[in-house]
Structure 1
Amino acid sequence: MPRRLARMVPSSEGSRLAPFLVAAAVAVASIVALVARPATTPAERQADYVIIAGAPGLRWDDLSPTETPALWQLAARGSIGALAVRSARGVTCPADGWLTLGAGKPALRTGIRAAARPTGTARPGPTSPGRSSGAAPTTPPATTAPPEVDSAIGCYLGNTEVFSPDSIGGLLPDQPTVVSYNEGLTWGARPGALAESMRCTVAVGAGAAVAAARPIGRVDRYAAALPADPAPLLRHCVLSIVDLGVVAGDGDVRRFAVREADARMARVLAARPPGSLVLAAGLADTDETSRLHVAIADGPGYAGGWLSSPSTSRSGYLQLIDLAPTALAALGKQHPARLFAGQPANRTEGRPDDLAAAVRRLADADREAGAQRDVSGRFFVGLAVVALLAVALAVPLLRQVRRGIGPRGPRAAPAGLRRAAEMVLIAIALAIPAALVAGLTGWWHTAAPAWVFLVGLLVALTLGVAVSVLSPARRHTLGPTGAAAGLAAVVVLLDVLTGTRLQLNGVGGYSALEGARYAGLGTVGLGVFSAGLLLAAGCVAQRLPRRWRPACVAVLGGIGVMVVGSPYLGTDAAGAISLTAGVCVAAAMSTGGWLTVGRLSWTVLAGVVVTMGFALLDLRRPPETRGSLGRFLTAVQDGTAAAIVRRTNIDNVAMMARSPLAWLAIGAAVFAFVVIPRHWGGLTRLFAIYPAVRAAAAGLTVAVVLGGLTNGVGLTVAGAGAATALPLLVVAALRVLAHADERTGAAPPTGEVLPEPDPPEPAVPEQAGPPGDTVAGRPQPAAGHVLP
C-alpha cells in the first residue's frame, strides 16, 4: 500500500488489526470456495449381465470400419476411452494385466521365464516403478517357477500343464502362491477378488481363467474357446470374461491378430444376453514400452460418450483397475475400498459425433504420451545438469561482481557479463513453464518431435526472458526476480484454470502412461507454482509497509491454496496443505526476524485449521470422489492406512534415487549451505536488505519439501521448486552485490511514493541498492551520501 494511502488509515487498534483481518478473510474464503462443486448425476448402470472381453495389446490405431467392423460398431454405440494398463510393474505383460483385472488392484504374476531356478528359490521382485504404481515389493515367499512362458510376449499366461480343466470349470493350482506373493507387495492386491464377489463366473480362454480364478484357484465355469453357440455359456453366470487373443507384433502379423480378435468379438456380440454390459479392453502391453489401449463400454448408461472414472477425473481416460468396480457397479454390487483401488467408469459428454474423429483423438493421446516419455527424461536430465552447472559458474561471478575498495582494489566483473548471466539464470528458472507452453505447438505430430519441441522451448524461453527483463519493475533490484517468478506461477495457474491440458502428457507435466495422475496439478507443476507464487509474493510484499506484508503474502498464498486444493481445479489436497504451511511461514517472517515461539505457534495453528478444513470437506464427499486426504482418513478408519504410509515411503525412496529433479534439489541444498553463509555469497545481504524475500525463500522450502513427501515423490517437488527459485535468487543476489558500494547521484524523483521505512538492521553495517531503488523500504539518500 502506498504511503499516502496508509496515511488515510487512522492510527488505531482497528488499523493495526486490518492486515490480519484481511488475511483471515482470505483464508476463510479459500476454504469456503472449496465447498462449491459442480453437480454430477451418476449414470444408471444397472445391467443383468456383464461381459469383459480382453485383447492384450489392442490399441486405438488398430481399429477401423473395415478391419475391425465389430469393435467399430461397438464403439459407435457405446462410450470409449484410453485405457492405462499399469499393473505392479512399469510395463504390464498380459499375465499381469489379466491378474490385475481379477484383483481390482495392481497385481503381479511375476512373469518368471522358464529358465529357472530349482524349487524353493525365491522369486525376484519387480523393478520399483516409483509413485506411478507404488508397487515395490517386499521379500516374496519362496515358490516354484512356472514351467512355461509364452515366448511372443515374454510373460507367463497359463496352459494346460498348470491349468487343470474339468467338465465344468477348472483349477489354477499356483493361485494361492500368487495370492500370497501379492499380499506381500505394497499394494496388497488379492487376486481373485472380482470372482470372489460373484456367485458364479465364466472364463473363456487361458487369460480369462487367470482373471476369473478365485483366490483358491477355482474357476467356476471354463471353456478353452468360444463354442459354436456361445449364448448358453454367456448366460450361465452374470459375469463372463472372454480372452479375445493377444495383439502383438507389427505389419501383417499384427493386422491378422487384430482381425482374429474382432472376429471373436463379433461372435460374443451376436450371443450377448439382453440387458448386458459389454466391456472391451486392450488390457496389457505386448512390447517393451507401455502404451494407452482400447476401452469400450456398451450397455445401460454408456451410450455414445467418453469413458471416465473418479480415479482419473478426466474425460476419455480409464484405468485397468477401474474395470472390476465397473462390472460390480453395473450388477448392483458394492466394491469395498479394501479390495478394489479403482472406481466405476462413468459416461461423460463431449465426444465428437464423428467416431473417426474421436478415435483419432484417442490414438493421438497415445502418440503424445509415448513422445512425452521419450523427451521428458532427456529434458529433466538436461535441466538438472544445466541448472547445477549455471549455479556453480555463478559462484565466481558472485565473488567478483562487487567493486573493490580503493583505486588498487580488484576490478569488478563487467556489467555485460552480469546481465548475460542474469538472462541465462532467468531462462533456467522458466524452463519448466516454457516446456508446458511448447506443448501448444503439437510437436509430437511431427517427424522429428524432439527437435520441434526444442524449437518451441527456445521460442517460449526467449519470450519469457524478454518479459522478465523488460518489465516495468526492471530498475528495481527485485524486478526481474519478481517478474520471472510471477510469470512461472501464472503459466501453471492458467493451465490449471483451463483444465491442465498442457500438463497431461506434456513435457514438464505428467504422463497418462504412469498411472499416477490424469487431471489437476502435477507434482512438477506443484513445485513450480509454489516456488513462483511465494517468491513473487515476497517481492511484492517487500514494496509494501511492514505491517501489510503478512496480509499480502496471505492473500496471494490463500488464492494459491484454493487453486491447488480445489477438487475441480488442482485436486491436490496434500499439496494444498503443504502450500499452506509454506504460506504461514512466509507470512510470519515477512516483517523481518526469525520464527519466534509465538510466530511458530500461530503458524502451526493456522496449518492445523486449514488441514482440518480440507479433511472435513473431503470426508463430506462420496467415497468414490474423495481426494488423497479423504481416502487416507478413510483408510485410517478401516485399518488400511499402514499400507498407504508404507507405499508412500517406498515411493519417496525410489523417486529420490532415480529422479533428476531430486539431484537438483540436493545440489540446491549444498549451494545453500556452502554459498549463502559466505560474506561474498550475496544471498545473506539480499535476505538482510529484503526480509520479505528471505521469508518467501523459507516458506517455499517448507512447501516444496512437504509437498513431495506427502505426495510420495521424494524430492521431485523440491527439485522443481529449486529449478524455479534458486536461479532467481542468484539473480537478485547479483544485482544487490553489483550496487553494494555505489554512491547515488540524486534523491528520489519528486512525487515518488515510497514504502514506509523499516528500522535499521544492526547486523548488516552496509546496505545499498541501485539508483532509484528502495532498500528494505528506505528511501535513497541525497547526493554524495553512502547508503546506510
Structure 2
Amino acid sequence: MVAAVVAAATGSLQASAAPATKPPTSPTSPASPASPAGLLAKVVVIGVPGLTWGDVKASPELTALVDQSSVGSISVKTAGPHTCPIDGWLTIGAGTRAWGSDPNQPCGDLPAVSDGKVTGWQTYVDRQAEHHTGAPIGRLGQTGYPMCGFGPGAAVALARTDGSVSNWQPQFDQAKLASPECGDAIVDAGALPLREGRPEALQKVAELVKQVRAADGWVLLTGISQVTTNDHKQTLVVMQLPPDDGPRWLTSDSTRRPGLIQLTDITATILRGRTAATVDPAGPEKAGPLDGSEIRSTGDRHTSAAAVIDDRLDANQRFEQPRPVLFAVALTIVGAEVLALLWFLLRRSPLSRRVTIFTLLVQGGFFIAAFLAQATVWWRWPSPAFSLYAVTIGISVLSAVIAQVLLKKYAYFGLALAAYLLLLIDGVLGTPMQLGSLFADGPVIGGRFYGFGNSTFAALAVGGLVTAAWAAQKLYGKSRLQAAVAVLVIGGAAIIVDGKPGWGTDFGGLLALTPAVLLMAWLTWRDRLYLRVLIGAGVGVVLLVAGVSYLDYRRPPDQRTHFGTFFARVLDGDVSDVFIRKLQMAVQFFSGPAGWLMLLAVVFCMVATVWPDRVPSKAYRDFYSSHQMVRPTLLALSLCGLAGMLLNDAGIALPAIMLGFAVPLLVAHLLASHQPATVSPEPHLVQES
C-alpha cells in the first residue's frame, strides 16, 4: 500500500490540460478582432527573447506602452525541453511547435545567413524528423505575400522550406519597412542581456517600437523564448499596438483564457489574413493544420498600467509555482502516511489506527484541495509558493476532518463524491480551476490551456465510479436494472463533462472512461460478461469518439478543440508523428525507478482486483465479497486505468494517480470497518487485515 501511495505521488509529479489569472477587469465585452485580416496596415512582429513582465515594470518606456496596448502573457513552450531563441523563431516559421536547440548544450547564437540561405538549415529539418515534431519549418516563408525580415531571428522565421531567405536585412531599416515592397514584417530585437546593459537594451526596444509605429504598422511586441536553458521558465510579455477598441486583454481560441496566448498564435494571426497569397505547392495550406489561432482582444478596458503589470506578475506566480509545490505537498502527505503506518504496525493501538486512517483520508482530500485551492487566490498572497503549500495542506486536512465527522467509517465516499461534484461543476463552467492548479499543465509546461488533463481525469474517474457504485449499491436490493441505470446516469455525467468540447475536452479520457462505465453497468445488471457485449461496447466507444471528433471538425478551424484537430490530422494522413510522440512520452516514465515502482503498484492492484482470493488480507477478501457492487467497481477502475495507460501520453502515471486516490480511501475504509472490540485481540485482527 505504501508503494502505491509513493508511486501515485510520484506519478502526479510527472503526468501531464487555466482561468488564467483573472485580469483585474472581467472579460465580458464582445471580443474584437485583433488580427491582420481586417486591417489595412501591415503587421509587424517585434520579437524579444527573454522579455518579462518584470522588465516592463523596470522600464518607464515599456510601462508607458501598457496603457496604449492590448496586453497579455505568452507561453513560449516549443517541442523541445528548452525554448532557446532558435526554437522560438523556428516555431513561428512553422506555425506548430518546433525543436531547434540541442538539449545537452546551452542556448547558442542564431545561425547566420550566407548566400541567401540560413546556414545549417538541414540540421533543423533533420531535428524535426528525429524528434517527430511534425513541424513544417519554413511554412511562413513559403507564402507569396511580400514579407520583410530584420535580424537573424527573422531570417529563421521567414526562411523557406529549403532555408533560403529573401527580402531580409541583418539590421532594422525603418525606410525599408515603410516601403511598398515590404508587406508584413518580422523584426528580431535581439536577446536581452542577463545583467549588465539590460536597462539600456529595454530602452532600445521601446525606441524600436516607436520607429515601427511610425510606419503605421499593427505592432505585436512579444517575448520569443527564454535566453538560456537554465532560465526559470515563465510566461513572457505580449503587447499589441494600436489596440483595436481601447487597451484590453489579448487572447486566442487556442488558449481560451483572457490575457494569455501562445507562440504559435503569432503565425496563425499572420497567415489567416494572407493565405490567399500562397503560391508554393508546399505552402501553408499543404503543411497541415496550425497549432495556434488568431490573436484577438477581449474584456473591459484597462486604465492603470501599474495594476496590469501587477496582475501579470501575479499570473506568473500562478503559472510557475504549482509544479515545485506539488512535489513538496506530495512528500509531506506521503511522509506523514509512512510514519503513521510504521507507528500502527509497531504499536497496533487504537490511537495509531485512528491516526493512520486520518492520514489516508488526507491523501483523499488532496484530490479536492488540488483544485479548490484556486478559490483562495493564493498567488496574490505574500510568499505565493508557501501560501499554495499551506492552502493545499489545509484544505486536504479540512476535507478529511469534515468527511470523518459527518460520515465516520464511510468518509471515503464523502471524499469521492466531493471530488466528483467539484470537477463536474468545474467542467461545466469551462474549467476555471484547472490552469494554475497542482494537477494542470499550465503555460509554462506548455500543456493544456483549457479542459481536463490526465491527472484531473484520474480524479474524476475515481470519484465518478465510486459515487456510481454507492448509488447502485443502495438500489441493488430493489432492482438490479435500477442500479445499472444509476451507474449509467452518474458515470454518463462524468463522460459528458470530461469529453464535451469546451468543457473537459479530454480525448483520451473519453476513450478510457466510457468502456469502464459500460462494463460497470453491465456487471451490475447481468453479473456476467459475453464476447459480443465486449465487442459491442468497443464499437460503441469508437463510434462515440468518432462522432464527437467529426462534429468538432465541422466547426471553423480556429474554434476546433483537440477532437477536431485530431480528426483533421487523420484526414490529412498526418497522425504518425503524433502517435510516436505520445508513445515516447509514455515510455519516458521508465527512465528511472519511479516509473517501475508505479508499474509494480499498478500490476499488484489489478491482480488484487481480478483475483481477490490471492490477496493476503482477510479484511479485503471479506470486503470484496460483502457487497455486490465491489467487484464491478474495482473491475471498472482497473479497466479505466488500463485503457488510460494505453491511450494517453501519461502512460503508467495515469493509473498510478488513480491508485493514489482510490487505494488510500479503500485502506482507510477497511481499517475503519474492522475496529477491534477490545484492545487485546487487536494485534491478531490487524495482522489479518
Q: TM-score range by the shorter chain?
A: 0.7 to 0.9
Partner of residue 327, structure 2: 377
Deviations 1:185-236 (A, max 9, x none): 2112232211112343321112222222222222212222223645445x42
Task: Determine if the alignment matches structure 1 residue 363 to structure 2 residue 313.
Answer: yes
Distance 1:88 1:605, change over 3 A: closer
Query: Equivalent of 1:723, from 639, 651, 660?
Result: 660
Amino acid at match of 2:203: R
1:128-527 map, 5 Å: 154-158=107-111, 162-164=112-114, 170-227=116-173, 229-233=175-179, 235-250=180-195, 253-272=197-216, 276-287=217-228, 288=230, 289-298=232-241, 304-331=247-274, 333=276, 335-336=284-285, 338-339=287-288, 341-356=290-305, 357-380=307-330, 389=338, 414-446=349-381, 448-471=383-406, 473-474=407-408, 479-527=410-458
Q: Does 1:695 align with 2:632?
A: yes
User: In structure 2, do the counterparts of structure 1 residues 666 and 594 end up closer, same or farther at CA, with 3 Å as the change threshold?
Assistant: farther
Q: SS at the partner of 1:291?
A: coil
1:661-715 deviations in whole A, cap 9, x for unaligned?
A: 8844642433554795235253232121123132222212322342354331112
**Corresponding residue of 2:88:** 97
Partner of 1:568: helix, strand, or coil? coil
3-state SS in 2 of match to 1:297: strand
Q: Cα deviations across residues 317-365 of structure 1 (Å, max 9, x unaligned)?
A: 2111221111111335485373454223242422452242333322221
Corresponding position of 2:511: 577
Query: Match for residue 622 of structure 2?
Result: 685
Q: Which has the higher contact order (CA 8 A, sep 6+)?
A: 2
Measured after TM superposition, the shift of residue 565 of structure 1 is: 1.4
Aligned length: 633
Letter paired with 1:238: G
Contact 2:67 2:302 in 1 (8 A): no
1:283 corresponds to which letter in structure 2? I
Tell whether 2:560 aligns with 1:623.
no
Measure the CA separation in 2 of the matches of 1:56 and 1:254.
12
Q: How does 1:638-677 map to 2 (within 5 A)?
A: 638-655=572-589, 657=591, 663-664=597-598, 666-671=600-605, 673=607, 676=612, 677=614
Distance 1:704 1:358, change over 3 A: farther
Cα distance between partner residues in 1 of 2:54 and 2:294: 22
Q: TM-score when scaled to structure 2?
A: 0.83
Q: Following TM superposition, by how much is the alpha carbon of 1:66 offset from its aligned partner in structure 2, in angstroms?
A: 6.1
Alpha-carbon deviation of 1:631? 2.2
Of 472, 475, 496, which aligns to 1:541?
472
Q: Is the 8 A contact 2:80 2:99 kept in 1?
A: yes
Question: Which consecutive residues of structure 2, in runs of 5 or more, have no partner in the other structure?
Answer: 1-27, 279-283, 679-689
Give me the CA root mean square deviation. Answer: 3.3
Q: Distance in 2 between matches of 1:59 and 1:515?
A: 17
Quote how far apart the aligned CAs of 1:646 are: 1.2
* Shift in CA distance, 455/41, structure 1 to aligned 2, threshold 3 Å: closer
Deviation at 1:630, TM superposition (A): 2.6
Which shows bigger deviation, 552-561 or 315-324? 315-324
User: What do the CA deviations read for 1:12-68 (whole angstroms, capped 9, x no partner)?
Assistant: xxxxxxxxxxxxxxxxxxxxxxxxxx9998837333422111011111232259622
Cα–Cα, structure 1 residues 618 and 391, in superposed 2: closer, same or farther, change >3 Å?
A: farther
- Counterpart AA for 1:241: I
Inter-CA distance 602–538: structure 2 relative to 1 (3 Å threshold): farther
Going from structure 1 to structure 2, the CA distance change for 1:238 and 1:302 (only over 3 Å counts) comes to: farther
Aligned residue number for residue 23 of structure 2: none
Aligned to 2:19: none
- One-letter identity of the residue aligned with 1:87: T
1:244-301 C-alpha deviation (Å, 9 max, x unpaired):
1212424x632222112111121111123xxx43222111102422221112234696
CA 1:394/1:713 → structure 2, altered by over 3 Å: closer, same or farther?
farther
Question: Is the Cα–Cα contact under 8 Å of residues 78 and 91 in structure 2 kept in the other structure?
Answer: yes
Q: Which amino acid aligns with 1:46?
A: G
State the Cα distance separating 1:495 from its structure 2 match: 3.2
CA-to-aligned-CA distance 1:64-123 (integer Å, 9 cap, x gap): 596225x743x5444322111112222211122122211222223335xxxxxxxxxxxx
Structure 2 residue aligned with 1:80: 71
Distance 1:561 1:622, change over 3 A: same
CA distance in 1, matches of 2:617, 2:191: 65
What are the superposed Cα offsets for residues 601-637 of structure 1, whole Å, 9 maximum, x if unpaired? 5533543443343233323322333232332222121
Provide the residue aligned with 1:9 in structure 2.
none
Paired residues of 1:205 and 1:243 also in contact (CA < 8 A): yes
Aligned residues of 2:264 and 2:291 also touching (Cα < 8 A) = yes
Corresponding position of 1:139 = none
Asked whether the 8 Å contact 1:63–1:72 carries over to 2, the reply is no
- What is the Cα deviation at residue 446 of structure 1? 4.8
In the other structure, the counterpart of 2:3 is none
After superposing the two structures, state which structure 1 stretch, 597-606 or 553-562, moved more.
597-606
Per-residue CA deviations over 1:445-490 (Å, capped at 9, x if unaligned) read 455444333322232122201221122x43xx6x222112112223
TM-score normalised over the length of structure 1:
0.73
- Between Structure 1 and Structure 2, the one with more helix by share is 2
Is the CA contact (8 Å cut-off) linking 2:50 and 2:191 kept in structure 1?
yes
SS in 2 for 1:203: strand
Q: How far apart are the structure 2 equivalents of 1:629 and 1:665?
A: 29
SS state at 2:629 partner:
helix
Separation of aligned partners in 2, 1:339 and 1:155: 30
**1:704 counterpart residue number:** 641
Seq. identity, %: 25
Distance 1:373 1:256 in 2: 34
SS at match of 2:194: coil
CA deviation profile, 1:533-575 (whole Å, cap 9, x unmatched): 1112112211113332111111101111111112222121331
Alignment partners' CA distance in 2, 1:308 and 1:644: 26
Q: What are structure 1's unaligned runs of at least 5 residues?
A: 1-37, 112-125, 128-148, 401-412, 742-788
Distance 1:390 1:690, change over 3 A: farther
Equivalent position amino acid for 1:347 in 2? R
The 3 A distance-change label for structure 1 pair 602 and 87 is closer
- SS of equivalent to 1:279: strand
Q: Which amino acid letter does the alignment assign opposite residue 79 of structure 1?
A: S
Q: Please give the alpha-carbon distance, in whole angstroms, between the structure 1 residues aligned to 2:64 and 2:654.
A: 42
Asked whether the equivalents of residues 202 and 219 of structure 1 are also in contact (C-alpha less than 8 Å), the reply is: no
Q: Distance in 2 between matches of 1:65 and 1:453?
A: 27
Letter in 2 for 1:513: V
